[in-house]
Amino acid sequence: MLRGKHILLGISGGIAAYKTTFLVRLLIKAGAQVKIVMTQSASSFVSPLTLATLSKNPVMMDFVNEEDGSISWNNHVELGLWADLMLVAPATANTMSKMAHGTCDNLLLATYLSAKCPVYFAPAMDLDMYKHPSTKASIDKLESFGNVMIPAESGELASGLHGEGRMAEPENIIGFIEDHIAKALPLRGKKVLITAGPTHEAIDPVRFLGNRSTGAMGFELAKKASSLGAKVYLVSGPTHLSVDYPNIELVRVTSAQEMYGACHAVYADVDVAICAAAVADYRPKSVATEKIKKKEGDMHIELVRNPDILLSLGEAKKQQFLVGFALETENEMENAKGKLERKHLDGIVLNSLKDEGAGFGGGTNKITFIDKNLAVKTFALKTKPEVASDIWDEIISRIHA
């Protein structure tokens, strides 16, 4: 859930600040990028140098930096825009009160007021402070703004008392945030099949029939589905690409027949299938066991049809939302709509080799999405990660309709 996220950690001045060293380590281990803003009083409880070392970013405490005769400033607006989420931990009674009432007397509070992202806060204070009506009023006001409280835990407090008020343990904070994010993900609980890359059809031990597909579009679709909460089966032909997401199962294949088998092995259980692979339509009828030597005259290779993976999935379709790709060079819209109907698809992604920046090999694509009702939406040239987002937006709007 936190892989690749920009997390802004705000640390206020309470004894629980010492736990933030462990919290930062867990955030980094989860794959997040972490920047830290702390109050001056927080630095009495935990070393800024330690946090800077763990986060691999400078720790910010003041609006203005003076070093070696030069002056620079920490841009709280820029920090607020950088963050995918902000976490204030520990959130003391003093800091929560200021957050609730818009008091802006330090860099942490200025950054909080500038944040456009979801904000989580983890209260930490002694029992009587936690139970005080003013603290409850601050919490209620912060939650009314849309901020999310990570409840304090019970246990031994710094005063020696036992009760509520302990900041949640770092691993529990991580778990809370991940669970909260997961509940809002549109593909949570869904299983997705995606095909990617080319297929290679062997001629002899060293030669094959193939195409220029890199697999980049299919891999971006898989990564986006994963970030939206899905369990992904990514069936990829030969490609240099790799993916390291815990909820993406990568199955590598070589030929169209292998891809056919891998797709049908999971198809019955999936909710969405996107066939983005450039599958070879034909394969050599016979494969030489030894390298074919050059001879005088021409050479002829007899080809036979490969199984039509997309058509077979369309014919077997039950609950699945099935999307295909159409890479065309002429009569683009007519051919795409024909494929959509002929192969029993719910949607088709059309790209034309006539559009500069579209198709194989580059970092961009230009697509048109057509659904089974022949509703057409054309997008501008975008990067492939952006195209993957657009495709999933179109699919999600239809499966949740």
Q: Are strands 272-275 and 303-305 parallel, antiparallel or unpaired?
A: unpaired
* HSE-CB of 353 using CA atoms within 13 angstroms: 9
Q: Give me the phi and psi of 113, to 5 degrees please.
A: -70, -20
- Looking at residue 146, the DSSP 8-state letter turns out to be T
Q: How far apart are CA 370 and CA 377, in angstroms?
A: 7
Could you say which of 211, 247, 335, 373 is catalytic? 211
- Paired tokens of 115: 């944040």
Confirm whether 147 is a catalytic residue.
no
The H helix count followed by the E strand count for the chain is 13, 24
Tokens of 36: 């830290």
Q: Cα separations (Å) of 174 from 126, 244, 248?
A: 22, 20, 21
**Would you give the distance in Å from CA 174 to the centre of its chain?**
17
**What is the residue-wise DSSP string for 54-77?**
HHTS-EE--SEEEETTEEEE--HH
Please report, to the nearest 10 degrees, the dihedral formed by the alpha carbons of residues 163, 165, 166, 172 taken in order: 110
In angstroms, the CA 326 to CA 332 distance is 8
Q: How many alpha carbons lie under 13 Å from residue 307 in its C-beta half-sphere? A: 16
Q: What residues are annotated to the active site?
A: 211
